[in-house]
């Protein structure tokens, strides 16, 4: 049996294989409510055989959206719209997962296909939040969170987690990567606070850890909690893999089960050496030194490459984003390539051989 198709159990949840659809913003909603696009987008990847299908970054509050078209999970209308999609994913044998997020100082922008630049308050945008008033590129500097904001954001994450559970999700991921709110607390390049939430590594980790704790308190014992991190900012003086190991251990103590290891996003134009598997070594380091299961992501496209990552114990599972957009049936095709006889959706059975 190829390792890629070996079931994976964390707490009370078993994925039929070690293939995850990485969260991918679709910018396809109004008021954060999923629709037909999401059913087709997520549903076809479940039909395609991924063990875990993770719904895109879902904002915990309106001001936590990257764009006005982001998916949200701050009210029940949004939760109810996801319910049939969750049900469909489960019927196809995939574990439904969702990433909850706050975009911080990278919020209030247009979607990439509309240029991605900042949307001003006068055009329906909003004032963004960050640990300190340090801007990302040409975007306006965020307003620094005060004590009341910190409490509110912790509560928003907790409520989104409760909602994710009540609408059927089985894996929850907290977004601490890509330069969004929680990552900006971690990195010394964006966090210039002089209170208990800035300065030392311990202080910079404090708020992200408080959020993880608040979420774990309400996310059921038998369900896995993942955290996506950027293992490095790819710039001198920024967040790095050694700090990531310390964070991973601290998150594990808060009951986080899996680190989903990404990178970058804090600084525009960082020199990222993007190439096949370019983030995998960092996943491996966190797995080994942090003693925590990890998911590797980033330019994993080939089934043999994915199998190699797992067999060499660099990661416990792989997550694919763009390749899954090119080929929603990647897991079915990967099985054929690795000579694995896995079941196909019964309605597609006549296409399995040949
Ligand atoms: C269209 C698109 C949307 C994305 N949205 C998210 C997101 O919502 N949350 C997230 O953590 N990463 C997001 N990412 C990053 C991917 O999940 C993934 O980490 C990255 O694309 C590298 O993997 P790949 O080389 O397989 O594409 C997005 C990537 C793409 C291409």
Among the listed residues 325, 331, 330, 329, the one whose alpha carbon sits nearest the alpha carbon of residue 25 = 325
329 counts as catalytic: no
Q: What is the residue with the minimal CA distance to atom 5 of ligand 1?
A: 24
Q: Does residue 141 lie within any of the structural domains?
A: yes
Task: Tell me whether residue 275 is in a domain.
Answer: yes
The verdict on the CB of residue 58 being under 6 Å from ligand 1 is no
Residue 352 lies in a domain: no
> Residue 175: inside a domain, yes or no?
yes
Cα atoms in the 13 Å half-sphere on the side-chain side of 158? 14
Alpha carbon of 148 to ligand 1 centroid (Å): 31
Beta-bridged to residue 261, according to DSSP, are: 229, 296
Question: Contact at 8 Å (CB) between 271 and 216?
Answer: no
H or E stretch covering 228:
strand 225-230
User: For residue 245, what are the contacts with CB-CB under 8 A and spacing of at least 6?
Assistant: 285, 286, 289, 290
Rounded to whole angstroms, the Cα distance separating 17 from 4 reads 6
- Whether 252 maps to a domain, the answer reads yes
Determine if ligand 1 sits within 6 Å of the CB of residue 24.
yes
| Beta carbon of 299 within 6 Å of any ligand 1 atom | yes
Q: Which two tokens stand for residue 208?
A: 């992200």
Q: Is 322 in the pocket of ligand 1 (CB under 6 A)?
A: yes
168 alpha carbon – ligand 1 mean position (Å)? 23
Q: Tell me if 276 CB under 6 Å of ligand 1.
A: no
> Of the listed 27, 167, 180, 197, which one is catalytic?
180
- Ligand 1 centre and the CA of 24: distance in Å? 5
* Residue located nearest, by CA, to atom 30 of ligand 1: 24
Q: Does the beta carbon of 22 lie inside 6 Å of ligand 1?
A: yes
Burial group, residue 273, by CB count within 10 angstroms (0-12, 13-18, 19+): exposed
- Rounded distance from Cα 1 to ligand 1 centre (Å): 29
23 lines ligand 1 (CB under 6 A): yes
260 lines ligand 1 (CB under 6 A): no
- Ligand 1: atom nearest CA of 56 is 8
**Residue 299 CA, closest ligand 1 atom number:** 25
- Under DSSP, the state recorded for 112 is G
Which two three-digit tokens encode residue 52? 């875990």
Give 237 Cα–ligand 1 centroid separation in angstroms. 25
| CA nearest to 232, candidates 173, 300, 281, 293 | 281
d(CA 232, CA 243): 9
Cβ contact 320:297 at 8 Å:
yes
Q: Which one, of 216, 213, 270, lies nearest residue 240 by Cα?
A: 270
Own/partner pairs, 325-328, CB within 8 angstroms, 24+ separation: 325/24, 327/48, 328/44, 328/45, 328/47, 328/48
Distance CA 157, CA 347 (A): 39
Given CA atoms 282, 286, 287, 288 in this order, what sign does their dihedral have?
A: positive
* Ligand 1 atom nearest residue 262's Cα: 19
> How far apart (Å, rounded) are the C-alpha atoms in residues 180 and 167?
25
Would the CB of 71 count as within 6 Å of ligand 1? no
CA dist., res. 270 & res. 266, Å (int): 8
Instruction: Report the number of distinct structural domains present in the chain.
Output: 1
Atom of ligand 1 at shortest range from CA of 301 = 26
pLDDT averaged per 10 residues in sequence order, the chain, 354 residues: 97 98 97 98 98 98 98 98 98 99 98 95 96 97 98 98 98 98 98 98 98 98 98 98 98 98 97 95 98 98 98 98 98 97 95 82
* Residue 254 and residue 216 in contact, taking contact as beta carbons nearer than 8 Å: yes
Helix (H, G, I), strand (E, B) or coil at 43: helix
**Atom 15 in ligand 1: residue holding the nearest Cα:** 24
This prediction's pTM: 0.98
Q: Which domain holds residue 282?
A: 3-346
For 295-335, the DSSP string reads EEESS---HHHHHHHHHTTS-SEEEESHHHHH-TTHHHHHH
pLDDT at 353: 81
Residue-wise pLDDT tens digits, 83-117: 999 999 999 999 999 999 999 999 999 999 999 99
The rounded Å distance from CA 71 to ligand 1 centre is: 15
- d(Cα 254, Cα 226) in Å, to the nearest integer? 11
CA 42 – CA 167 distance, rounded (Å)? 16
Cα angle value 39/57/116 (rounded, 5°): 100
Looking at the domain assignment, is residue 241 inside a domain? yes
Is 354 within the bounds of a domain?
no
Residue 353 lies in a domain: no
- For residue 161, the domain's CATH number is 3.20.20.70
Ligand 1 centroid from CA 21, angstroms = 9
């Amino acid at each position: 049996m190829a390792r890629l198709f070996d079931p994976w159990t964390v707490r009370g949840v078993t994925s039929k294989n070690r293939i995850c659809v990485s969260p991918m913003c679709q910018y396809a909603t109004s008021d954060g409510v999923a629709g037909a696009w999401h059913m087709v987008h997520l549903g076809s990847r479940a039909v395609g055989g991924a063990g875990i299908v993770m719904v895109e970054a879902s904002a915990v509050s309106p001001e936590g959206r990257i764009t006005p078209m982001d998916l949200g999970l701050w009210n029940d209308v949004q939760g109810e719209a996801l319910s049939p999609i969750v049900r469909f994913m489960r019927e196809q044998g995939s574990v439904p997962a969702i990433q909850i997020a706050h975009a911080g100082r990278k919020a209030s922008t247009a979607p990439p296909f509309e240029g991605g630049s900042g949307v001003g308050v006068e055009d329906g945008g909003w004032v963004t939040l960050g640990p300190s008033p340090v801007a990302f590129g040409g975007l306006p500097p965020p307003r620094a969170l005060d004590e009341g904001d910190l409490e509110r954001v912790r509560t928003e994450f907790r409520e989104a987690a409760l909602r994710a559970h009540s609408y059927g999700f089985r894996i929850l991921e907290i977004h601490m990567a890509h330069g969004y709110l929680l990552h900006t607390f971690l990195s010394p390049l964006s966090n210039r606070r002089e209170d208990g939430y800035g300065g030392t590594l311990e202080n910079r980790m404090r708020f992200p850890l408080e959020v993880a704790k608040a979420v774990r308190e309400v996310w059921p014992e038998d369900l896995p909690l993942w955290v996506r991190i950027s293992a490095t900012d790819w710039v001198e003086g920024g967040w790095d893999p050694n700090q990531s190991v310390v964070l991973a251990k601290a998150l594990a103590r808060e009951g986080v089960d899996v680190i989903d290891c990404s990178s970058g996003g804090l600084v525009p134009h960082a020199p990222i050496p993007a190439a096949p598997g370019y983030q995998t070594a960092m996943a491996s380091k966190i797995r080994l030194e942090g003693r925590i299961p990890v998911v590797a992501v980033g330019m994993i496209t080939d089934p043999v490459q994915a199998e190699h990552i797992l067999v060499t114990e660099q990661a416990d599972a792989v997550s694919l984003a763009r390749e899954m957009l090119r080929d929603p049936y990647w897991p079915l095709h990967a099985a054929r390539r690795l000579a694995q006889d896995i079941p196909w959706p019964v309605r597609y059975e006549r296409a399995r051989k040949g």
